[in-house]
Structure 1
Amino acid sequence: MFKKHNMFVCDPKNNEKNDDGYGSSNITVLEGLEAVRKRPGMYIGNTGTVGLHHLIYEVVDNSIDEFLAGHGSQIDITLHLDGSVTVSDNARGIPVDKHPSGKSALEVVMTVLHAGGKFDNEIYKTSGGLHGVGASVVNALSSYCRVEVKKNGGVYEQEYKCGIPVFSVRKIGDTTHHGTTTTFKPDVTIFQETTEFSFDFLSGRLRELSFLNKGICIRLIDEIKDKTQEFKYEGGLVSFVEYLNRSKVVIHPKPIYMNTEKEETVIEIALQWNDSYSESVYSYANNINTAEGGAHLTGLRAALTRVINQLASGDKGVQNLKEGLSPEDIREGLTGVVHVKLRDPQFEGQTKNKLANSRIRTLVESSLNEKLSDYFHEHPDVAKKIVAKIVDAARARIAARKAKELTRRKSALDLGGLPGKIADCQDRDPANCELFIVEGDSAGGSAKQGRDRKTQAVLPLKGKILNVEKATTDKMLSNQEIRLLVQALGTGIGRHDSEVDIAKLRYHKIVIMTDADVDGAHIRTLLLTFFYRQMKEVIKRGHLYIAQPPLYKYKKQKTERYLKDDSELEKFLVETAMQDASILDGNEKTLEMSVVKNMLICVERRNKITSILSRRRSSVAVNYLVSHALLTPEIFYKKADFEKLISEMKLHVLKYGHIHAKVDFDSEHNRYHAIIDIQLAGKPYHFKLDFDFVSSTEFEELKRLTVQLESTFALPLKYSHDKKSRVITSWVELREFLLADGRSGAYIQRYKGLGEMNSEQLWETTMQPSSRQLLQVTIEDAMAADDIFSMLMGDDVPPRKEFIESNALNVRNLDA
């Protein structure tokens, strides 16, 4: 894969190897997209969840840049069952004419690094994509990629495998439309951690883009979960801030908004204070989320400090404050967004987390100074409310500092004076120490007895801790459970990272260990809220974890087994029923157990795909289509054969319900499709039977699995164990039988609480480092985290009710 070239050396006779074993033959030159596949982290940050989703963002950002240039109004992102993604827009379409290199411009864009229209400031004046690597990087990191372009009256396509074109760009039809459709499937050899896209993860970023580009419509479609969400906001940043504050009580009804242009730079800012104690200010440059801020955010903060101090200088409340106002006081409860659009933005790294253009600070600061001063002069009532909020914040800060000092004087981290509460560990090296925060005295007692006393400390909490979302620091420190937790950790608390001394953290692994019921989930949420709002640095440094105790205990005679979840339980039940058993095919041939297991995996996979495809199409239609031997992608180009298929399908479905089908012609691709409406048991199904569905990876796999299950071995099967035997008609029936047989005579306990385990069981399943499973808490999307904590833990009921109603159907194992 990697081409090696000899380099010039002083002694041409010795250019293969030098005396030290390091010569020119060791120098590797990566050509084309090889560098991307070899070092993907340089281009997308990492190959984990963040990097995986970054692939979609790269393609979507290209469509957004078209919108900024005045072309296109719609972007659709579709998550397919096979793990592939399609991003489609109605913009101008990537050029397909011949490039000076001799290749089509489309192939150059998709296969050559640092190639694109964004180096020409006349085409994209304010593009976020600077390096010309977005599309080509996505292509390089995908096992399969296909681009379809509608442009100049034609439809053009090209396919790639691992970034290499399968064929030259070709015309496949005629059209009056325009736009680009890109379908790609991340390469599992690159993204080994996961290739599963998250609907919620994507929703946050796509919602941002719709706010930042008012008027654009972005649709996210998840075929796996059968979910669709549309984002379109005409209010822009004003709507953005209102959305972020929807779960909070605002100080003034309308956000403060400014939009100005200086030196070919567009500066857009929206600000609104609320009665919370957190600052939520987000920065963007050319639609790119600069999570680490940069010059534009620094300019905004500097202008805020200056204007508010001038505004509040005559206020009596401020005059009575000996310490004056701090920048943190001014930004407490502030929700804001700053978005700058500029030529040639300079980011730190390809992932563009921080804006580095130094001139932007001056432009933002001077613009906001002028506009904000004018606004407060024109709206004195709003200015008065904001100043009053800031004065309250300053008083609370001073009171909180005094409360912290009082707490330190009283306890000084002397945990020896807290008998029966925390059971500390013997080791004094924080890197070796773990703290288990346990719900209740019962589980706490088991944890204390079962722990490794050298490295594991246990802190049992009594009941539910205070909800800190709306609590002041002095109120928090008056809460016994929170005070005990703060004393145990030793870092201090605060909503700003500067207030938390992470170097004093006494345990580098903090594990939240609560029951698997509703109360346990509530306590876990309260604790997560506390850490996110008061010790965010603990999460950022990777010190916070959630214990994953087993959900089930299986017991039958002398066999005992702890099982993590339903999937693991089913797998164990099948394997248990197969022990010492034999499976014979229809020819009385005994099958090897490894072969049987593979066939059962095929059953599970087939059931999953059928279930998902049947949501919109009905199981009757899906099973018929899968079993139809003539249903191949080629049939959509043959009118008579396709109409015959539809007629036969109608006759089949009429046995179970009603069906209406209409055949249409797709002139863009020169093929036929059918619009199908089915009514079965009062439930309607509406879908399109077309080339894309039948040629999709999931439908092809479903057909393959069906053939494999029906044709690989002669049926029926025969199950034999000891003196009992049973004839089984199919592999699907075999799996159902094995699940039932595995349960027969067994005691399966579903744990609701850690207190149901004795100390030995708790150690073995949840605390022992060699066998336990811990879930690390991370902040991959700070905005989404802030929003969800405000919604679930704040005072505003309607957004929380809406969230619960929209997610109620996804709940599993909800205890009464």
Structure 2
Amino acid sequence: LIPLFDGEVFADAQHESFAEGEGAAWCVGFTEDGAPVRESYVNLIPTSAGGTHESGLRDGLFTAVKSFIDLHSLLPKGVKLMPEDVFARASYVLSAKVLDPQFQGQIKERLNSRDAVRLVSSCVRPVLELWLNEHVEYGKKLAELAIKAAQIRQRAGQKVEKRKSSGVAVLPGKLTDCESRDLAYNEVFLVEGDSAGGSAKMGRDKENQAILPLRGKVLNTWEVDRDRLFANTEIHDISVAIGVDPHGPNDTPDLSGLRYGKVCILSDADVDGSHIQVLLLTLFFRHFPKLIEAGHVFVARPPLFRVDAPARGKKPASKAYALDEGELNALLDKLRKEGVREGAWSISRFKGLGEMNAEQLWDTTLNPDTRRLLPVALGAIDFGDTEALMTKLMGKGEAGARRELMELHGSTIEIDV
């Protein structure tokens, strides 16, 4: 909580700008929620409609808070602070003393004296600046409140809607859709890169498998507000293709428009591919959690190695795929036990999905009988704990927390350089 800020300043006989006795007394409180309570007086006359003395208070508060924010470099990039961002959460009682005040209306409900803006602002600003810099902790809380209001205001003006034609969302042009309309049967593969997308289009079962190629790495959406998601083309296309709008964990989204029973993430079996996989899982956990909860999200696991073994006895030549080096070693051990001469086999390593032809992609990642498809589930961990861990992993200001996690678990991971 931010303590009440009160004070009074009145001009003396030597003041250069104002008459002796002119000035203001005030008490201001800042709150995060609830309707602000405001009263103002001029020469003890209530001014229910406000006026220029309230404008002076507004200007003084804003100038002091803006000065504090600039001094401590607290304003995030791209955020522009406005007076209303500071004033919106202020409750106050203001009593101004003005020589020869000019009022509007017969009941003197509003002050119109132009000099009152400068008078009250010059009284409030230096006192608040001093108070903020003497109470830096409270100053930062007030700055945070104002910056949050500015961000909400800017987001409200920048809300991005789903692109529509005649009231219906337009399917992305790069989506290669399937023929079936059976939700339980249909699958869409979010594929890394256009080249892999081309092989996937040729190798898929066009009856029930759709392909949506993604360009590069998708946006880290952990700290992106829902109404700004569609500013990113890739995320807009994913949402439109699957037929579900972004939502939160406590929302009840309309899943009746869902177009595929399985939404499958398909990326390379390397570090970059894993990064893309993490970014997409972040998107679904943060903005489409009900799809995960309902069991619609999957991760396809393409192999890293292909082993071609020669014919042996009555057994014809064969090929097999290995997910990683562990599986590769197990596969080679099996060939040795079957009597295959050491080194008679050939091992190919896939650098990426783009290297696979349509037949290989079908065999390894698209064919329901031979592919590896992992379901994504929320698991037994508490949702709040999962959210806290994801913040450490994906939050922009969490470099220290990530360093701690790497120090703690660095010895348990395999590094592919």
Give TM-score scaled by structure 2 length: 0.61
* 2:100 counterpart residue number: none
Q: Is the 2:86–2:146 contact (alpha carbons within 8 Å) kept by the matching residues of 1?
A: no
Q: CA deviation at 1:746?
A: 1.4
Residue of 313, 336, 360 corresponding to 1:577: 336
1:794 maps to amino acid: G
Q: Does the C-alpha gap of structure 1 residues 478 and 553 become closer, same or farther in structure 2, counting only changes over 3 Å? A: same
* 2:15 counterpart residue number: none
Indicate the SS of the match to 2:210.
strand
Residue of 228, 249, 254 corresponding to 1:501: 254
* 1:789 counterpart residue number: 390
Q: CA deviation at 1:755?
A: 1.5
Q: CA deviation at 1:778?
A: 1.1
* 1:414 counterpart residue number: 170
Work out whether 1:747 is the aligned partner of 2:346.
Answer: yes
Q: Partners of 1:767 and 1:506 in 2: how far apart? A: 18
Q: Is the 2:160–2:229 contact (alpha carbons within 8 Å) kept by the matching residues of 1?
A: no
* 1:798 counterpart residue number: 400
Q: CA deviation at 1:566?
A: 3.5
Q: Does the C-alpha gap of structure 1 residues 541 and 395 become closer, same or farther in structure 2, counting only changes over 3 Å? A: farther
Deviations 1:261-312 (A, max 9, x none): xxxxxxxxxxxxxxxxxxxxxxxxxxxxxxxxxxxxxxxxxxxxxx954265
Q: Partners of 2:346 and 2:258 in 1: how far apart? A: 44
Q: CA deviation at 1:747?
A: 1.0
Q: Partners of 2:237 and 2:288 in 1: how far apart? A: 15
* 1:488 counterpart residue number: 241
Indicate the SS of the match to 2:260.
coil
Deviations 1:373-416 (A, max 9, x none): xxxxxx9757745654664565466446x522x6345883222x
Work out whether 1:522 is the aligned partner of 2:278.
Answer: no
Q: CA deviation at 1:787?
A: 2.6
Q: CA deviation at 1:502?
A: 2.3
Give TM-score scaled by structure 1 length: 0.33
Work out whether 1:777 is the aligned partner of 2:389.
Answer: no
1:810 maps to amino acid: T
Q: CA deviation at 1:455?
A: 0.8
Q: Is the 2:188–2:263 contact (alpha carbons within 8 Å) kept by the matching residues of 1?
A: yes
Q: Is the 2:249–2:290 contact (alpha carbons within 8 Å) kept by the matching residues of 1?
A: no
Q: Does the C-alpha gap of structure 1 residues 478 and 486 become closer, same or farther in structure 2, counting only changes over 3 Å? A: same
2:407 maps to amino acid: E
Q: Partners of 1:549 and 1:312 in 2: how far apart? A: 58
Work out whether 1:537 is the aligned partner of 2:290.
Answer: yes
Q: Partners of 1:554 and 1:567 in 2: how far apart? A: 13
Q: Does the C-alpha gap of structure 1 residues 760 and 473 become closer, same or farther in structure 2, counting only changes over 3 Å? A: same
Q: Is the 1:497–1:535 contact (alpha carbons within 8 Å) kept by the matching residues of 2?
A: no
Q: Partners of 2:227 and 2:278 in 1: how far apart? A: 21
2:256 maps to amino acid: A
Q: Is the 2:307–2:348 contact (alpha carbons within 8 Å) kept by the matching residues of 1?
A: yes
Indicate the SS of the match to 1:430.
coil
Q: Is the 1:426–1:454 contact (alpha carbons within 8 Å) kept by the matching residues of 2?
A: yes
Q: Partners of 1:783 and 1:538 in 2: how far apart? A: 18
* 2:65 counterpart residue number: none
Q: Partners of 1:518 and 1:757 in 2: how far apart? A: 18
Can you give the 5+ residue segments of structure 1 that lack an aligned partner in the other structure? Answer: 1-251, 254-306, 322-378, 582-740
Q: Is the 1:312–1:318 contact (alpha carbons within 8 Å) kept by the matching residues of 2?
A: no
Q: Partners of 1:742 and 1:809 in 2: how far apart? A: 36
Indicate the SS of the match to 1:465.
coil
Q: Does the C-alpha gap of structure 1 residues 308 and 475 become closer, same or farther in structure 2, counting only changes over 3 Å? A: closer
Indicate the SS of the match to 1:775.
strand
Q: Does the C-alpha gap of structure 1 residues 492 and 389 become closer, same or farther in structure 2, counting only changes over 3 Å? A: farther
Q: CA deviation at 1:436?
A: 0.2
Q: CA deviation at 1:525?
A: 1.0
Q: Partners of 2:148 and 2:260 in 1: how far apart? A: 35
* 2:34 counterpart residue number: 310
Deviations 1:558-596 (A, max 9, x none): 2211123344333332232222x5xxxxxxxxxxxxxxx
Q: Partners of 1:380 and 1:809 in 2: how far apart? A: 42
Indicate the SS of the match to 1:510.
strand
Q: CA deviation at 1:540?
A: 1.1
Q: Is the 1:465–1:482 contact (alpha carbons within 8 Å) kept by the matching residues of 2?
A: yes
Q: Partners of 2:290 and 2:87 in 1: how far apart? A: 34
Deviations 1:489-538 (A, max 9, x none): 22111345427422322112100000011111111111111111111111
Q: Is the 1:573–1:742 contact (alpha carbons within 8 Å) kept by the matching residues of 2?
A: no
Q: Partners of 2:347 and 2:268 in 1: how far apart? A: 18
* 2:72 counterpart residue number: none
Q: Is the 1:500–1:535 contact (alpha carbons within 8 Å) kept by the matching residues of 2?
A: no
Work out whether 1:465 is the aligned partner of 2:213.
Answer: no
Q: Partners of 2:166 and 2:86 in 1: how far apart? A: 31
Q: Does the C-alpha gap of structure 1 residues 392 and 540 become closer, same or farther in structure 2, counting only changes over 3 Å? A: farther
Indicate the SS of the match to 1:437.
strand
Q: Partners of 2:392 and 2:225 in 1: how far apart? A: 18
Can you give the 5+ residue segments of structure 2 that lack an aligned partner in the other structure? Answer: 3-30, 39-57, 59-83, 90-136, 311-316
What value does the CA root-mean-square deviation take over the aligned residues? 3.2
Q: CA deviation at 1:799?
A: 1.5
Q: Is the 1:431–1:507 contact (alpha carbons within 8 Å) kept by the matching residues of 2?
A: yes
Q: Is the 2:293–2:378 contact (alpha carbons within 8 Å) kept by the matching residues of 1?
A: yes
Where in structure 2 are the equivalents of 1:111-260 lying within 5 Å?
A: none
1:815 maps to amino acid: D
* 1:403 counterpart residue number: 160
Give % identity.
35
Deviations 1:179-225 (A, max 9, x none): xxxxxxxxxxxxxxxxxxxxxxxxxxxxxxxxxxxxxxxxxxxxxxx
Indicate the SS of the match to 1:576.
helix
Q: Is the 2:243–2:257 contact (alpha carbons within 8 Å) kept by the matching residues of 1?
A: yes
Q: Partners of 2:341 and 2:266 in 1: how far apart? A: 31
Q: Is the 2:269–2:301 contact (alpha carbons within 8 Å) kept by the matching residues of 1?
A: no
2:180 maps to amino acid: D
Residue of 536, 560, 568 corresponding to 2:319: 560
1:788 maps to amino acid: L
Q: Partners of 1:434 and 1:477 in 2: how far apart? A: 23
Where in structure 2 are the equivalents of 1:326-337 lying within 5 Å?
A: none
Q: Partners of 1:788 and 1:317 in 2: how far apart? A: 32
Q: Partners of 2:250 and 2:188 in 1: how far apart? A: 22
Q: Partners of 1:313 and 1:760 in 2: how far apart? A: 71
Q: Does the C-alpha gap of structure 1 residues 766 and 493 become closer, same or farther in structure 2, counting only changes over 3 Å? A: same
1:568 maps to amino acid: E
Q: Partners of 2:36 and 2:342 in 1: how far apart? A: 72
Indicate the SS of the match to 2:160.
helix
Q: Is the 1:423–1:459 contact (alpha carbons within 8 Å) kept by the matching residues of 2?
A: yes
Q: Partners of 1:454 and 1:318 in 2: how far apart? A: 58
* 1:733 counterpart residue number: none
Q: Partners of 1:313 and 1:408 in 2: how far apart? A: 43
Q: Does the C-alpha gap of structure 1 residues 767 and 317 become closer, same or farther in structure 2, counting only changes over 3 Å? A: same
Indicate the SS of the match to 2:34.
helix
Indicate the SS of the match to 1:809.
helix
* 1:371 counterpart residue number: none
2:390 maps to amino acid: F
Q: Is the 2:200–2:362 contact (alpha carbons within 8 Å) kept by the matching residues of 1?
A: yes
Q: Partners of 1:538 and 1:779 in 2: how far apart? A: 11
Q: Does the C-alpha gap of structure 1 residues 788 and 756 become closer, same or farther in structure 2, counting only changes over 3 Å? A: farther
Where in structure 2 are the equivalents of 1:595-614 lying within 5 Å?
A: none
Q: Does the C-alpha gap of structure 1 residues 403 and 516 become closer, same or farther in structure 2, counting only changes over 3 Å? A: same
Q: Partners of 1:569 and 1:508 in 2: how far apart? A: 32
Q: Partners of 2:370 and 2:164 in 1: how far apart? A: 38
